[in-house]
Structure formats: structure tokens, C-alpha cells
Amino acid sequence: MKKICVFNQKGGVGKTTTNINLASYLALEGFKILVVDMDPQGNASSGLGIDKNNLNSSIYDLFVSDKDLNSLIIESDIIKNLYIVPSSINLAAAEVELANMKNREFLLKDSFSKLNGFFDFVFIDCPPSLGFLSLNSLVASDSLIIPIQCEFYALEGLSQLINTISLVNQSLNKKLYIEGVILNMFDSRANLSNEVVSEVNNFFEDKVYSTIIPRNIKLAESPSYGLPIMLYDEKCKGAISYKNLAKEFICRQRRSGL
């Protein structure tokens, strides 16, 4: 079971869109996938058809009520092989409620040890900040995927992001590494998009996926219907790109022996 954190401290870069759609296409390929929603906004949950306002329990109960992670898993009724640990706005209070708890950064990691090995991949959707929730996600993960948008401020804060990963490596998770970098919201008509692609490739080199996700209105619309892009419009450019990204992801895993 490989645990992958989808993380960038910058907001609006396509973290949740990547999580929802990459996980969905991998499930379609037959892999057992668990999505853990660690964002209090719960967008990954609602984007996969979960009514986050009508939950009996959520990831919040893992942290505050010490519930077993297995008891929080919901099987998707729209995609075979896909499972979700949902989030709700209650999660925003967890950091304050656990302020005085020792080793609180390891709560999610410890909970993963209780999973029965049923899953091939766990994808963790993080909030756009470096706090208690993101830190728990980074500590619990084997690797991370970094989504970067092809826009003007794309590289802003990148050095801070790398520094954050380095600090986690040094003190909390020595094995954490960058799984890959995804370029999002690409507009082929804009010179700036091409410049960002070039800069990111120069910076991350072979970590960058060759599949680039275009700016696509269907991708933006699909979460409001509680559907991944493969069920909303499988023929649009966004769907084709995420399908290709999933294939590239699988090829990289096979090359690395997983």
C-alpha cells in the first residue's frame, strides 16, 4: 500500500481536481484506491459524490474521538474500487482541540498501520496551507505529488515548498520523496504557460509528468455535480488528459518495481 500526499502550500493549483480524477482513473484500471480528504472544505468528498453535510462521521473523528480509520471508510457508489474517508468543516477545529497533545503529527500515520492492506494506493488531499492537517499528511505519506498551475504566480513560494519538504525529511519523515510534479491549467495560446512549463521542467527535471492538464471548463464544472471528469464528460480534453496521466503514473510505478 503506497501512500501519496497531493500537496502544495499555494491554493488554486488543482490539488483536489488532481486527487479526484487521478484516483478515479486508477480505480477504473482495477487498483484499489482510498482517498483521504484532509481539507476541512471537503471538496474531494463532495467531488466524489459524498454529501459532506450529512455525515455520521468523518476524518475529524479519527483525530478527536480516536475512531478507527477503517470505520470511517465509505465505498463509492459511482466508481468501483474507489473508497473515501470524507471530511467536513468540523475538521477545522481539530488543530485547536489537539493543541496540547504530544506527537499529534503522527496521528494519521499511526492510523494507516491499522488498515488491512486491502488498498494499492492511498491519496491524501491536503488543505492549501502548512498546518496540523498538512503536516499529518506529509508525515503519513511515502511520497508526494505537487500540482503546479501554468500561471504567473506558479513559481511563487516554490522554494518555501521545497524547504518544507526538506524540514519534514530531517525531523519527521526521512523517507518522504517527490513522486512527481503535475502541470495544471495549461493554455497553449499563452506564452506565459509555455514559459512556466519550461521553468518547472528545468527545476524538477524528470520528476515532471509529461502529461499536462489543460485549462478546461468541464473539469471546473464536474465537482459541482459530484462526479469525476470520467463520468461527467469522458470525451473532453480534461478527461483525456487525466486518463493519460493515470497511464503515465502506472508506468512509473511499474518501472520503480511497485
Q: Do 82 and 27 touch, CB atoms closer than 8 A?
A: yes
Q: Do 109 and 68 touch, CB atoms closer than 8 A?
A: no
Nearest-angstrom CA–CA distance, 70 and 114: 8
What are 46's strand-pairing partners? none
Mean pLDDT, the chain, as a whole number? 92
* Least confident interval from 42-46, 52-56, 155-159, 223-227: 155-159
Q: What angle do CA 98, 103, 109 make, to 5 degrees?
A: 100
Count up the domains in the chain and report the number: 1
Q: E strand or H helix at 3, and its extent?
A: strand 2-6
What are 36's strand-pairing partners? 85, 124
Higher pLDDT, 24 or 115: 24
Which region, left, alpha or beta, applies to residue 66 given φ > 0 means left and ψ of -120 to 50 means alpha? left
Nearest-angstrom CA–CA distance, 244 and 211: 7
Q: Which three cell numbers stand for residue 242?
A: 487525466
The tens digit of pLDDT for each residue in 85-105 reads 999 998 988 888 887 888 889
Nearest-angstrom CA–CA distance, 223 and 151: 22
Q: Which residue has the cell 465505498?
A: 75
For residue 15, CA distances in Å to 61, 97, 144, 185, 248 come to 23, 26, 11, 12, 18
Taking the model in full, what pTM does it have? 0.94
Nearest-angstrom CA–CA distance, 182 and 212: 7
State the average pLDDT over residues 110-135.
Answer: 90
Q: What is the pLDDT of residue 195?
A: 87
- Is the confidence at residue 186, as pLDDT, over 80? yes
Q: Do 109 and 139 touch, CB atoms closer than 8 A?
A: yes
Which range marks the domain in which residue 45 is found? 2-255
Q: E strand or H helix at 6, and its extent?
A: strand 2-6
Q: What is the pLDDT of residue 258?
A: 66
Instruction: Tell me if residue 107 falls in helix, strand or coil.
Output: helix
229: which residues sit within 8 A by CB, 6+ positions away? Answer: 21, 24, 218, 219, 222, 236, 238, 239, 242
Q: Which three cell numbers stand for residue 143?
A: 511520497
Q: What is the pLDDT of residue 116?
A: 72
Nearest-angstrom CA–CA distance, 95 and 231: 35
Q: What CATH code is carried by the domain that includes residue 118?
A: 3.40.50.300
State the average pLDDT over residues 70-93.
Answer: 94
Q: Do 154 and 190 touch, CB atoms closer than 8 A?
A: no
The tens digit of pLDDT for each residue in 135-161 reads 999 999 999 999 999 887 777 778 888
